[in-house]
Structure formats: structure tokens, C-alpha cells
């Protein structure tokens, strides 16, 4: 089956959130990411090279289109054409407060940069965090740039969108943590094996309405203390440091 102009337009349209929301579909690109997602999500359309298909003979998709990289480039949003791209159905996850109470969970308060969100999902996957709760204002996890930045971690981490303030109130018995410039040194505080770690917006940090619901205010100190340094850490980098310290304590 050839890669038609209509098919190319339909794939390209998934770069727009409105189209993703209306269709319930998202785009993933790259051999590694596509191969990670194929066993997890229902694939509507797979466009790939013969060599990709030879390496993944058990691949299942409603529609498979074999094409040369030059053809794939016409549908791809990447600068360099990948060996595979795929259109998947969005999964539907329910927030399980019972599970949240027993595990470590990330909550994101208006993270707006797609690269940061994708990296945070990848960090969560690395540290065994299986649920991320996002405010409605957080970037769309199915933005192709976010999907690309997760490097396949989106297959193993459930990302939910909800009213974050309401979620924290519903889970008020669960320990809550957040990073603040006026917080307490994370390396000197008691950390639990379960809890909700809130990370804030790139420019403004955690909003005031959310910060009122956080009982444990943490700070990542620079080294050495008192040395002139950067004003703050990138939120994805800070998330990695915080998750690492939580996991180090409970291993």
C-alpha cells in the first residue's frame, strides 16, 4: 500500500492538539519509540521501512504501509526521516487513589515546555514512578515533541490530567512534597516511600493555591553553600534529583 497524499495530511494534522483531541489519536516517530509502543497501544497506522518490518516481524497494526525513508520524510515531523512512524489510539487511564496512597507519584503544576514534560516522564520511568498527575494547564502529553522526548517511557508511565487542587484535597492523607527556594534541605529531611511530589512551572514554580496544600517544602541546595551560582535548576533536572533522593532513601 502506498503512502498517499491524504494519509500524509492526516498524519501531519496530528501535530495539532485540536486534531489529536477530536480523533483520539497521536503520532510517535522513530524505530525505538515505535517498537516500544506497539505492544502497549492500539496502532491504527504503521509506516515503516522493510528493514524495520524485518526486525519486528510480529508487529500488529490495522494498516501497515511499507515505504522508503524518502517517502516517510513527507509524513514525518522530524528533520531526519525515521525508519518508522505510527499513529496510535490514546489510552484512557483512571486515577486510582488507592494505588496513589501506596506509591510515589509525581504531580505537575503547569509544566509548559514539551521537552521538559517528556524528560520528566522519562525520569519517572527510570525511577519506577508509574503515575504522573498533571494540571489541566500542563502541556499535552501527546504532543509529538513530548512523545519524542519520552524515548518510549510513555508506554510505561500513566499520565493523567485533572484539577490538581482537587486531586490533592482528595488525597490529603498522602504525604505531599514540593520544591521551593525557601524550603528545607532535601538531604536533611525525612522522606517517605510513598507520597506525592509536586513540581512547578518553569518560570513561576508551584502556584500559591497548590503550595498551600503541600506539607513538606523541600529545597535542593547548591554546592558549596554560599557560592554564586545559577538562579535555579531546570524543572526536569530538579525532578531527577528529587526522585533519585527519594529512591536512594528507601532502597
Report pLDDT digits (tens) over 153-164. Answer: 999 999 999 999
Q: What's the pLDDT score for residue 251?
A: 58
Rg of the chain over CA atoms, in angstroms?
20
Distances in whole angstroms, Cα of residue 114 to Cα of each of 3, 108, 226: 28, 13, 33
- Looking at the predicted structure, is the pLDDT value of residue 133 above 90? yes
Evaluated on CA atoms 96, 163, 119, 143, the torsion sign reads positive
Closest CA to 65 of 56, 80, 73, 53: 53
Closest CA to 220 of 242, 247, 197, 199: 242
Q: Are 217 and 183 in contact (CB under 8 A)?
A: yes
- How much of the chain, in percent, has pLDDT values that exceed 70? 98
User: How many CA atoms, within 13 angstroms, populate the side-chain half-sphere of residue 167?
Assistant: 27
Q: What's the pLDDT score for residue 153?
A: 97
Q: Which H or E run contains 115?
A: helix 114-126
Q: Are 110 and 137 in contact (CB under 8 A)?
A: yes
Residue that wins the pLDDT comparison between 222 and 186 = 186
Label residue 238 by pLDDT band (50, 70, 90).
very high
Q: Are 232 and 204 in contact (CB under 8 A)?
A: no
Q: What's the pLDDT score for residue 211?
A: 97
- Looking at the predicted structure, is the pLDDT value of residue 2 above 80? no
pLDDT for 205-235, tens place per residue?
A: 999 999 999 999 999 998 877 776 777 789 9
Distances in whole angstroms, Cα of residue 77 to Cα of each of 82, 92, 148, 155, 214: 10, 25, 11, 20, 39
The most confident of the ranges 1-15, 53-67, 127-141 is: 127-141
Question: What mean pLDDT is reported for the chain?
Answer: 94
Q: Are 97 and 26 in contact (CB under 8 A)?
A: no
pLDDT for 45-57, tens place per residue?
A: 999 999 999 999 8
Task: Report the pLDDT averaged over residues 165-171.
Answer: 97
Peptide bond into 180 cis (omega under 30): no
205 secondary structure, DSSP code: B
Q: Which H or E run contains 63?
A: strand 63-66
Burial environment of residue 127 by CB neighbours within 10 A (0 to 12, 13 to 18, 19 or more): middle
Q: Quote the pTM value.
A: 0.94
Label residue 108 by pLDDT band (50, 70, 90).
very high
Residue ranges of domains in the chain, CATH in brackets: 5-89 (3.30.1330.30), 97-250 (3.40.1280.10)
Q: Are 117 and 73 in contact (CB under 8 A)?
A: no
Q: Which H or E run contains 178?
A: strand 176-185
Between CA 187 and CA 215 the distance in angstroms is 17
Between CA 107 and CA 214 the distance in angstroms is 11
Label residue 6 by pLDDT band (50, 70, 90).
very high
Amino acid at each position: 500500500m502506498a503512502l498517499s497524499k491524504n494519509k500524509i495530511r492526516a498524519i501531519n494534522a496530528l501535530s495539532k492538539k485540536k486534531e489529536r483531541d477530536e480523533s483520539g489519536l497521536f503520532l510517535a516517530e522513530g524505530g525505538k519509540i515505535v517498537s516500544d509502543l506497539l505492544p502497549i497501544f492500539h496502532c491504527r497506522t504503521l509506516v515503516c521501512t522493510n528493514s524495520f518490518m524485518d526486525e519486528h516481524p510480529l508487529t500488529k497494526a490495522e494498516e501497515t504501509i511499507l515505504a522508503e525513508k524518502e517517502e516517510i520524510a513527507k509524513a514525518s515531523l522530524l528533520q531526519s526521516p525515521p525508519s518508522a512512524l505510527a499513529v496510535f489510539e490514546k489510552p484512557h487511564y483512571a486515577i486510582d487513589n488507592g494505588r496513589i496512597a501506596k506509591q510515589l507519584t509525581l504531580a505537575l503544576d503547569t509544566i509548559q515546555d514539551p521537552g521538559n514534560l517528556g524528560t520528566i516522564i522519562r525520569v519517572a520511568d527510570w525511577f519506577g514512578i508509574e503515575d504522573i498527575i498533571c494540571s489541566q494547564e500542563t502541556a499535552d502529553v501527546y504532543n509529538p515533541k513530548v512523545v519524542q522526548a519520552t524515548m518510549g517511557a510513555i508506554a510505561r508511565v500513566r499520565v493523567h490530567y485533572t484539577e490538581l487542587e482537587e486531586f490533592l484535597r482528595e488525597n490529603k492523607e498522602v504525604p505531599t512534597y514540593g520544591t521551593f527556594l525557601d524550603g528545607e534541605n532535601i538531604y536533611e529531611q525525612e522522606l517517605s516511600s510513598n507520597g506525592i511530589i509536586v513540581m512547578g512551572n518553569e518560570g513561576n514554580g508551584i502556584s500559591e493555591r497548590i503550595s498551600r496544600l503541600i506539607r513538606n517544602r523541600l529545597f535542593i541546595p547548591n554546592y558549596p553553600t554560599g557560592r554564586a551560582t545559577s538562579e535555579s535548576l531546570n524543572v526536569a533536572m530538579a525532578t531527577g534529583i528529587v526522585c533519585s533522593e527519594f529512591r536512594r532513601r528507601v532502597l
